[in-house]
Structure 1
Amino acid sequence: MPADPIPHGATAAGAGTTGGAPQRLAQAALRDLPWEVGVAKPDAAVVVDGITRTFGGLTAVSVDHLEIQRGGITGLIGPNGAGKTTLFNLLTGFDQPDTGTWSFNGRSLGKLAPHQVARLGVVRTFQLTKALSRLTVLQNMLLGAQGQRGESFLRALVPGTWRAQEKANTEKAMELLRRFKLDAKKDDFAGTLSGGQRKLLEMARALMSDPQVVMLDEPMAGVNPALTQSLLGHVKDLREEGMTVIFVEHDMDVVRDISDWVVVMAAGKVIAEGPPESISQNRAVVDAYLGAHHDAPLTVEDEDRVLAEVEAQIAREESRDEPGSSDSSEGTGR
């Protein structure tokens, strides 16, 4: 639980007064919730219960209960090593937990492979992009389309069974590339794109499957400022289209700009939840980032001890600089 929970009914000033209708709906749904770990959401798309994942003796994730509001943008933040990416891996089938259950729209995602999770409508991107560098940008996009008839060996021998679908997928891919301003690169190998363009390509490819939940792992990492603004706009557009977005980010300016709700992790646990404005006010969050006693006043005994240590250090340095000292003699070659 947070060290300083906000009473039930506390709200963020001005919530829901700006932005498009989906943003206002998401903020309105979250407005009157208490700022408490594990708080129930009015319309949860993803629910996590008792998930743990250990590697040897290290507990990477230990989440008792977490709900993600449908149609909103949820920021997942925390120090390096907090377990954010591991949690992403567990929810999307890239790893399996030691204990616990998790569900999407009431359906359990346990034991499902990543492609099965994606077919249900939960897709993700990666901190290190997974574009296939020796395929063109357009070919990368077409890989994201689901239910392609031509993937069947027998149907592949009969072009009439899949040609119309492939044409429709190509048109959809080009529409997305135009939206992400990558249409001019459609015939370029993905390996020639910049880091920021690869992030755009990965997000665009994820949309080829018409997902309901999009999970973005540090989408702004390594992206130049010009493309950062473009990516921010695209993330907001996902919400405007009714998708649920969960993203990992370290830049708090980005988190405050686009998040409807923020979840904070530290040492594998969720230590705080609330709207973006609440996070900087939470003592548990400040301690997780800066240390539990970073601003605690020193006692008189502590002050005397520190002063004595400093004076002793100064005395040692002065003695080394005095003529005739052993250090001084060594320095002159005697």
Structure 2
Amino acid sequence: MPADQPHGATAASQLSGAPAAPARLAQAALRDVPWEIGVAKPDPAIVVDGVTRTFGGLTAVSVDHLEIQRGGITGLIGPNGAGKTTLFNLLTGFDQPNAGTWSFDGRSLGRLSPHQVARLGVVRTFQLTKALSRLTVLQNMLLGAKDQRGEGFFRSLVPGVWKKEEAANTEKALELLARFKLDAKKDDFAGTLSGGQRKLLEMARALMSDPKVVMLDEPMAGVNPALTQSLLGHVKDLREQGMTVIFVEHDMDVVRDISDWVVVMAAGRVIAEGPPESISQNQAVVDAYLGAHHDAPLTIEEEDQVLAEAEAAIAREEGTTGEVLTSERTDGEGTQR
């Protein structure tokens, strides 16, 4: 059963009449949820059923059932090759599964293209940033705005149709750039930004479409410590604004710091779910990351068995090597080769 969590802050906010913060609402909603694979959530935003994706004979993703709680931060963790990014690609339309269904707010996302998924409110960032290097930072931001009237050919010829909307989008983009401390770079080419600044730009651009779900693929990868703290703050802000966040991360300190719930994948499957504090206690997770019995001392019998197997392998190798050397030293008539 989940451990009891302090609720004094929530009680205090109720006594004062102030609404509870989204962070505490998400934690409260998940407090009594069992730590079980595929467990039902009180208010799921995304539901995955029987999704599989194979590449030749390799099964990259095989998820029987997964629900993502609305309004919370869900960390998706697992060793390299676990299928985390492939699952992101499937949920956002960048790839299609061999089988299964998945939905957002009860609406199926199957067979939708990435831009159609984004219009419904599910956006993502990439492990390798996708900023357009030869456009300015501000121009990159304006590309993220949706339903722009000037995108059509004939409407673009009539500035009166889209000028006011473009001004509003520009104001919104500048506000987001200021929030992410990129406003001083607005006229610079995106290709001149550092790796960390590109991560910030990609996150800011995603917010231009007013998303409901934000999926972040390793947002902290390759980012210096100073910008890491800034990115962490921005991820928490997304939750405070009522968005649902799913992020892939390898740094367990980061996962424990910001996650309300953690989903662990290995070999394409979900092997554990629960709050951050439960994950380090799960033997399946420890084995997936470090290997079974990584910290357990061998018994005398196990040591003898390992030693015997090693000696047998060495003997076989030496025997084979001796035979090869003998055959190379002489030919059929006893002369040296």
What TM-score does the superposition give when structure 1 sets the normalisation length? 0.88
Contact 1:12 1:275 in 2 (8 A): no
1:303 is displaced (CA, Å) by: 2.1
Instruction: Specify the SS of the correspondent of 1:162.
Output: helix
Q: 1:70 corresponds to which residue?
A: 70
What do you get for the CA RMSD once the two structures are aligned? 1.9
Instruction: Specify the SS of the correspondent of 2:54.
Output: strand
What stretches of structure 1 of length at least 5 have no aligned partner?
1-6, 314-334
Q: Is 1:227 aligned to 2:219, yes or no?
A: no
In structure 1, C-alpha distance between the alignment counterparts of 2:209 and 2:170, rounded to whole Å? 13
Summarize deviations over 1:200-229 as a string: whole Å, max 9, x none. 000000000000000000000000000000
What stretches of structure 2 of length at least 5 have no aligned partner?
14-19, 314-337
In structure 2, C-alpha distance between the alignment counterparts of 1:15 and 1:273, rounded to whole Å? 22
Contact 1:12 1:277 in 2 (8 A): no
Instruction: Specify the SS of the correspondent of 2:208.
Output: helix
Q: 1:14 corresponds to which residue?
A: 6
Q: 1:113 corresponds to which residue?
A: 113
Q: Is 1:167 aligned to 2:144, yes or no?
A: no
1:307 is displaced (CA, Å) by: 5.5
Summarize deviations over 1:273-327 as a string: whole Å, max 9, x none. 00000000001100100112323442333223456789999xxxxxxxxxxxxxx
Instruction: Specify the SS of the correspondent of 1:209.
Output: coil
What TM-score does the superposition give when structure 2 sets the normalisation length? 0.87
Aligned pairs, number: 305
Instruction: Specify the SS of the correspondent of 2:228.
Output: helix
Contact 1:15 1:31 in 2 (8 A): no
Shift >4 Å, 4+ stretches: 15-20, 305-313
Contact 1:29 1:42 in 2 (8 A): yes
Corresponding letter in the other structure for 1:24: R
In structure 1, C-alpha distance between the alignment counterparts of 2:53 and 2:309, rounded to whole Å? 44
Q: Summarize the Cα distance change of 1:16–1:304 in structure 2 as closer, same or farther, 3 Å threshold.
A: farther
Contact 1:127 1:218 in 2 (8 A): yes
In structure 1, C-alpha distance between the alignment counterparts of 2:119 and 2:109, rounded to whole Å? 11
Q: Summarize the Cα distance change of 1:309–1:38 in structure 2 as closer, same or farther, 3 Å threshold.
A: closer
Q: Is 1:253 aligned to 2:253, yes or no?
A: yes
In structure 1, C-alpha distance between the alignment counterparts of 2:216 and 2:39, rounded to whole Å? 23
Summarize deviations over 1:43-102 as a string: whole Å, max 9, x none. 000000000000000000000000000000000000000000000000000000000000
Q: Summarize the Cα distance change of 1:16–1:227 in structure 2 as closer, same or farther, 3 Å threshold.
A: farther
Contact 2:72 2:244 in 1 (8 A): yes
Corresponding letter in the other structure for 2:202: E
Corresponding letter in the other structure for 2:283: R
Q: Is 1:126 aligned to 2:118, yes or no?
A: no
In structure 1, C-alpha distance between the alignment counterparts of 2:8 and 2:43, rounded to whole Å? 17
1:266 is displaced (CA, Å) by: 0.3
1:1-334 aligned within 5 A: 7=1, 10-11=2-3, 13-14=5-6, 17=9, 21-306=21-306
Summarize deviations over 1:116-162 as a string: whole Å, max 9, x none. 00000000000000000000000000000001111111111110000
Instruction: Specify the SS of the correspondent of 2:270.
Output: strand
Contact 2:5 2:31 in 1 (8 A): no
In structure 1, C-alpha distance between the alignment counterparts of 2:274 and 2:306, rounded to whole Å? 39
Summarize deviations over 1:246-283 as a string: whole Å, max 9, x none. 00000000000000000000000000000000000001
